[in-house]
């Protein structure tokens, strides 16, 4: 097996969406503020709620006034949004607001349309925020997210996630170009081939820009390249899709186990034809089911141990990832992205302090939310531990990271499981590299430590127990190579070069 070089412990990554990306300005101030915003929606109609409900299946806005952080925006469009987040019996419904629906030219820091998501299925109120922040911090095209208190006709309606709309403003910011077609992969954007007729795709995708022209030729061509280029698939795909960017989106979907996405349910994304580069760009969307909240019949253990190369069954229903995995260079790039992010970015050391900071910022508003989906005690519990089948945020990060590191080790990616954790150096191994002996010094509280050593194929080749604070191990018979040394059953691991 060809082994990749061990990545440096501290890795700085600079990611670009495309060569056309311009400096972002719209929304930077609003989303950059580390505060919980305030949004007051005021309706003159006494039966406004009934009107909102009646408008939902018609996809119509209701006129109302909105005050955001003290600034009044009169005569804006307000409507309910969502599927399962809307259809539950709670009165805490999600909203979409368009400041310009009724002819106004008002903007909120350059933003004209946005979403208020209700935290459905999330006791922590953090899944969507943490995932979207990660996507944006790593140069992926995805909406930004903030928190806001929402009031309806003066009544506090609860804490919401304020999520940027994927529209032409978004496209111009991310790609420096808003002229192309943007399709939403809903309700079933599996990218399978259904023939040359554009009408064959009307019920499976939604066109969100250039609707009047209604030209679906480019989407059909992309799907044709994905499905019907058996002899030169990679060349055909490279012409049509920014594959390096998509692979990073793919890794992020998997890392956060967001199966309500292309790699699982087969939807919840946008794909944008950047006419300057003449390639499609992937846009991640609706990530509120991240951290394994959309289980597709899998147990929590199976979700946390989801393969880095997971393709939903049958794999032919997701032809893009199925066929890309069969190309060694694509699979290698996917592995490298995981390896890079697992070094530090996706770890408790990197994320626990952020989780604590967010919890402190929203705790008062969560407690005051009288119609939230879970209790205040559930909010506190879910920061670290499971609430029913909903996995704890911090423990998910620990278990997910360890599972991926163990799997990727077999694909030439070497990451010290806890080397970047707040528990600094639970044990030390030296020398590195070693020839005849290695010594392990334990900085652990256990009176007895179980030691296991695995080779690069994942095979256990040595197992022993130590009751000492330091243990010297004979490795003179070990072949040269990289070895994984694991101490106890709690995931403490290090990699060691021998000979």
Q: What percent of the chain is predicted at pLDDT more than 70?
A: 90
CB contact at 8 A, 493 and 486: yes
Edge-to-edge strand ranges of the sheet holding 206-207: 206-207, 182-184, 269-274, 279-284
Q: Which residue has the higher pLDDT, 449 or 320?
A: 320
Task: Choose the final residue of a domain: 342, 376, 404.
Answer: 342
- CATH number for the domain spanning 447: value is 2.60.40.3080
Instruction: Report residue 266 CA to chain centroid gap.
Output: 15
The whole-number pLDDT of residue 303 equals: 98
Mean of the pLDDT values across residues 154-161? 98
Assigned domain for 159 exists: no
Q: What would the pLDDT profile of 326-366 be if each residue is shown by its tens digit?
A: 999 999 999 999 999 998 899 998 999 999 999 999 999 99
Rounded Cα distance between 367 and 1, Å, is 53
> Is residue 22 over pLDDT 90?
no
The whole-number pLDDT of residue 497 equals: 63
Assigned domain for 95 exists: no
Mean of the pLDDT values across residues 161-187? 96
> Is residue 494 over pLDDT 90?
no
CB 364: neighbour CB atoms within 10 A? 12
Cβ-based neighbours of 210, under 8 Å, separated by 6 or more: 180, 181
The whole-number pLDDT of residue 442 equals: 81
Residue 492 pLDDT grade (very low, low, confident, very high; cuts 50, 70, 90) = low
Assigned domain for 115 exists: no
Domain count, the chain: 2
Task: Choose the final residue of a domain: 342, 373, 395.
Answer: 342
Same structural domain for residues 186 and 318?
yes
Cβ-based neighbours of 423, under 8 Å, separated by 6 or more: none
Q: Which has the minimum average pLDDT: 12-16, 190-194, 284-288, 307-311?
A: 12-16
- The per-residue pLDDT of the chain, averaged, comes to 89
Same structural domain for residues 315 and 207?
yes
Biggest CA-to-CA distance, the chain = 83
Same structural domain for residues 332 and 224?
yes
Assigned domain for 58 exists: no
Q: Distance between terminal CA atoms of the chain?
A: 18
Q: What percent of the chain is predicted at pLDDT more than 90?
A: 74
Residue 136 pLDDT grade (very low, low, confident, very high; cuts 50, 70, 90) = very high
Tokens of 54: 């009646």
The whole-number pLDDT of residue 64 equals: 97
Rounded Cα distance between 340 and 11, Å, is 7
> Is residue 197 over pLDDT 60?
yes
Tokens of 177: 């170009």
The whole-number pLDDT of residue 135 equals: 96
Assigned domain for 279 exists: yes
Assigned domain for 491 exists: yes
The whole-number pLDDT of residue 363 equals: 98
Q: What would the pLDDT profile of 428-466 be if each residue is shown by its tens digit?
A: 777 767 888 888 888 777 788 889 888 766 778 889 999
Task: Choose the final residue of a domain: 342, 369, 388.
Answer: 342
What range does the domain containing 432 cover?
425-499
Assigned domain for 291 exists: yes
pTM score of the predicted model: 0.82
Same structural domain for residues 429 and 335?
no
Rounded Cα distance between 385 and 171, Å, is 38
Q: Which has the minimum average pLDDT: 151-165, 247-261, 413-427?
A: 413-427
Same structural domain for residues 308 and 451?
no
Same structural domain for residues 329 and 204?
yes
Assigned domain for 322 exists: yes
């Amino acid at each position: 097996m060809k082994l990749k070089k061990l990545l440096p412990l501290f890795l700085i990554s600079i990611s670009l969406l495309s060569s056309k990306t311009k400096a972002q300005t719209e929304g930077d101030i609003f989303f950059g503020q580390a505060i919980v915003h305030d949004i007051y929606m005021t309706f003159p109609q006494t039966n406004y709620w009934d009107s909102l409900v009646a408008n939902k299946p018609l996809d119509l806005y209701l006129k109302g006034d909105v005050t955001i952080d003290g600034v009044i925006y009169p005569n804006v469009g307000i409507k309910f949004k969502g599927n399962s987040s809307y259809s539950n019996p709670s009165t805490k419904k999600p909203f979409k607001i368009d400041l310009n629906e009724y002819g106004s030219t008002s903007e909120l820091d350059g933003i004209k349309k946005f979403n208020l998501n209700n935290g459905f299925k999330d006791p922590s109120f953090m899944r969507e925020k943490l995932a979207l922040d990660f996507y944006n911090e790593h140069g992926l095209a995805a909406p930004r997210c903030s928190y806001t208190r929402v009031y309806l006709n003066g009544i506090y309606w609860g804490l919401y996630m304020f999520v940027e709309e994927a529209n032409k403003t978004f496209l111009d910011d991310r790609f420096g170009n808003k002229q192309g077609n943007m399709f939403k992969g809903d309700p079933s954007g599996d990218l399978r081939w259904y023939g040359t007729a554009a009408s064959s795709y009307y019920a499976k995708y939604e066109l969100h820009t250039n609707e009047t022209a209604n030209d679906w030729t480019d989407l059909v061509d992309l799907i044709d390249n994905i499905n019907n280029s058996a002899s030169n698939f990679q060349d055909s795909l490279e012409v049509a899709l920014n594959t390096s960017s998509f692979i990073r989106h793919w890794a992020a979907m998997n890392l956060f186990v967001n199966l309500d996405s292309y790699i699982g349910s087969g939807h919840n994304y946008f794909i944008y034809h950047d006419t300057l580069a003449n390639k499609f760009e992937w846009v991640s969307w609706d990530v509120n089911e991240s951290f394994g909240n959309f289980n597709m019949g899998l147990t929590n253990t199976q979700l946390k141990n989801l393969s880095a190369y997971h393709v939903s069954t049958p794999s032919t229903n997701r032809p893009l990832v199925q066929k890309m995995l069969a190309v060694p260079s694509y699979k290698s790039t996917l592995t490298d992205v995981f390896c890079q992010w697992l070094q530090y970015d996706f770890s408790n050391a990197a994320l626990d302090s952020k989780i604590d900071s967010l919890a402190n910022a929203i705790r008062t508003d969560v407690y005051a939310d009288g119609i939230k989906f879970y209790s205040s005690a559930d909010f506190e519990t879910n920061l670290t531990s499971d609430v029913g089948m909903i996995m704890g945020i911090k423990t998910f990060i620990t278990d997910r990271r360890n599972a991926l590191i163990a799997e990727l080790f077999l694909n030439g990616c070497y990451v010290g499981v806890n080397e970047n954790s707040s528990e600094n150096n639970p044990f030390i191994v030296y020398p590195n590299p070693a020839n005849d002996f290695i010594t392990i010094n334990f900085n652990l509280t256990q009176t007895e430590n179980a030691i296991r050593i695995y080779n690069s194929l994942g095979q256990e080749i040595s197992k022993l127990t130590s009751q000492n604070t330091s243990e010297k191990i004979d490795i003179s018979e070990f072949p040269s190579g990289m070895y994984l040394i694991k101490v106890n059953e709690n995931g403490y691991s290090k990699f060691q070069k021998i000979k």
